[in-house]
Amino acid sequence: MYAVQLNDVKKSYGALCVLNGVSLSVKTSEVIAVIGQSGSGKSTMLRCINGLEAIQGGSIQVAGYEIVPGGGHHKNLRSLRQEVGMVFQSYNLFPHLNVAENIMLALRVVKKTGKDEAWEAARSTLQRVGLLDKSGAYPDELSGGQQQRVAIARSLAMKPKVMLFDEVTSALDPQLTGEVLKTIAELAESGMTMILVTHEMGFARQVANTTVFMHQGKIWEQGPSKEIFSEPRTEELRRFIQAGVESGK
């Protein structure tokens, strides 16, 4: 069974073509790493999957919903986003709410979950990301890595079928990056379907079942992660991997 399918997806901003016929199938419980240079279309692809960006061509099937050119009905998109969690580079936590309240908010407002049930969901997901002891803390009392793990817990509390991660460690130093990557690796082991845009190529090789290399708005190469990194078939991917090796990624 496929959890996500992109079929010849096209996306442009004016004259700039960002996605030029992208097709990708993601099986349930599969972990896909998406790599490539800035501007290759990686983040835009994630935003299209979550209905945050409208597509101009092709179609997307995700978590039982279909996205087609022209967008979709607002209620359908709202329902889709309950099934497809997304974690961004920035944490987007509400500074005036403590950690538990940040997690409970969407459950209470969007899903109309009762207070006790919402607290139990917050407690469970905080325990899952190793931050149960921080439930009463406020965002400015946490490190960047801890805030990002709270953002992950907030998405997990909605019980999504698919999780999307957009360069979630790009703003973190190496120690904090390790904390977040450990959480994502544990999610992968639990069977969560995930697509993660990442510049951490060593992590992609170890954790992702499949790695996708995007270039010029297209999927240039894809395959089993270890094969992609050890035997790149195109000069573009070879150069990209070499640049990552030289920068320590």
Where residue 76 falls among pLDDT bands split at 50, 70, 90? Answer: confident
Helix (H) or strand (E) holding 101: helix 99-109
Radius of gyration of the chain (CA): 18
Where residue 183 falls among pLDDT bands split at 50, 70, 90? Answer: very high
pTM > 0.85: yes or no:
yes
Where residue 13 falls among pLDDT bands split at 50, 70, 90? Answer: very high
Mean pLDDT of 71-75: 61
pLDDT at 64 over 70: yes
Helix (H) or strand (E) holding 23: strand 16-27
Structural domains present in the chain: 2-92+162-246 (3.40.50.300)
Where residue 8 falls among pLDDT bands split at 50, 70, 90? Answer: very high
Where residue 176 falls among pLDDT bands split at 50, 70, 90? Answer: confident
Handedness of CA 216, 220, 225, 230 (dihedral sign): negative
Strands 84-87 and 16-27 come out as: unpaired
Of all residues in the chain, the percent with pLDDT exceeding 70 is: 96
Strands 193-197 and 31-35 come out as: parallel
Mean pLDDT of 169-183: 88
Q: Which tokens hold the place of 224?
A: 């089993």
